[in-house]
Structure 1
Amino acid sequence: MATVLITGASAGLGLEFAWQLATARHDLVLVSRNTDRLERLASQLHAAAGVHVEVLTADLSVRADVERVAARLRATDAPISLLINNAGFALHQPIVGGDPEVHDRALEVMVRAVMVLSSAAAGQMTARGRGAILNVASVAALFASGAYSAHKAWVRSFTESLAVELAGTGVTATVLCPGFVHTEFHERGEIDMTSFPEIAWLNADSVVAAALADVRRGTVISTPSLRYRAVSAVMRVLPRTTVRAIGSYRR
């Protein structure tokens, strides 16, 4: 039975990944800052699906905690077959005049931790000749809407580069680029999304199902839903001056 490690597992897409993978009979390692939520979720998953669930409390903005998670990924006695780098948070503040500590934390969680954990997982997986890494980015990677766009653009580019390096090893790298998803993500970031129409939103269960299907196929860029694939295609061909104007308007 394959074991999957999920960061940011206690809420949002991470929570949905945990439920779908447990239902598919995968053992899990759940990573989050919230021990109570993790332990409650672990009990629910074990009771519902009968899988083994390991809880690993870690704050990925703390480098010592990231190293503990990396050590778990490097372990060969209970190897991880799929890493899902999902941890992140909404960064609803400007680059100029924003809180430097918040920006530093965002970089640690959404950039450095992704790099360190992907590297640790890839080393263990390539030695065994099999495995997969799924990094969660966003269609925001194609926009110019603040530091969050920049972080997700890095995740997208990094994962593509990782996929190139891993070619022929039996290990794959996929980057998930969803649009707006019905989770608590925006509410936690205190972002008012009421002006966006329902058609702009995706459901977490369909996003996760599509992402896992793309991982199984070895797809490098996973963009759930036809409408967001269309948005991504348009953004890639627009002049960058137009992209920047859209970003300025959104901010």
Structure 2
Amino acid sequence: MSFIAVIPARAASTRLPGKPLLDICGKPMVVRTAEQAAQSQASRVVVATDDSQIQAAVQAHGFDAILTRSDHPTGTDRLAEVATQLGLAADSIVVNVQGDEPLIDPAQINAVAQLLAQTPDAAIATCATVITDAATLFNPNAVKVVCTLGQRALYFSRAPIPWARDALADGSQKLAPGLSALHHIGLYAYRSNFLMAYPGLPVGALESFESLEQLRALENGYSIAVHIAATHPAAGVDTQEDLDRIREIFTNRL
């Protein structure tokens, strides 16, 4: 199995300005993420950024970084530019690792890459974990996925799916006994030829209403394989509280 890990790192962030360069025990967050990705089986780790300061910081720590346009509407569009810049072969596998996940598990990176390599008719592979609490099922910020018996994605939604009709008939919010609801994890492996096609795919109503870019692939007939992980990954960094928590974890490690 051969794949590369690409870490998109945009300078703009509404809640944490300059997020990729925020310090975590002496190194920028995006560098900490790259160090985790480098522990996977990826043959190459590349940071894709729209900011020359981020590029310089990443390169100063010994990692590859390339400049991309700043007007990409989605992270997948940015990866498409990366695939073009690197001249990747059509069947190359690219794993998208979010730059604000300095605790990303290298084993999960390997898992999505391996799943895609073993599923030649899928364009994408991604991850999910079993939902064990009602709060997650009914939280619109927690994306759910339902799959075929062969673990191919049927649909992604912010709504609580599958809907347990009888158990929820009384209007309560609870987990129905035996319900195999899945929480989607935003870790993706792509085939390069899909990334090349993605910017030209029409945006459908489902993607627009749900605001979930992976639905563009489903709406246009592409197959997404889903790896069911045993544990949910460590949370990324979206708020100052998240950053404080991550800093404490790294302080304890070091």
Smaller-chain TM-score bracket: 0.3 to 0.5
Compare relative contact order (CA 8 Å, sep 6+) and give the higher one, 1 or 2: 2
More strand by share: 2
In the superposition, the TM-score normalised over structure 2's length comes to: 0.36
Which protein shows a greater Rg?
2
In the superposition, the TM-score normalised over structure 1's length comes to: 0.36
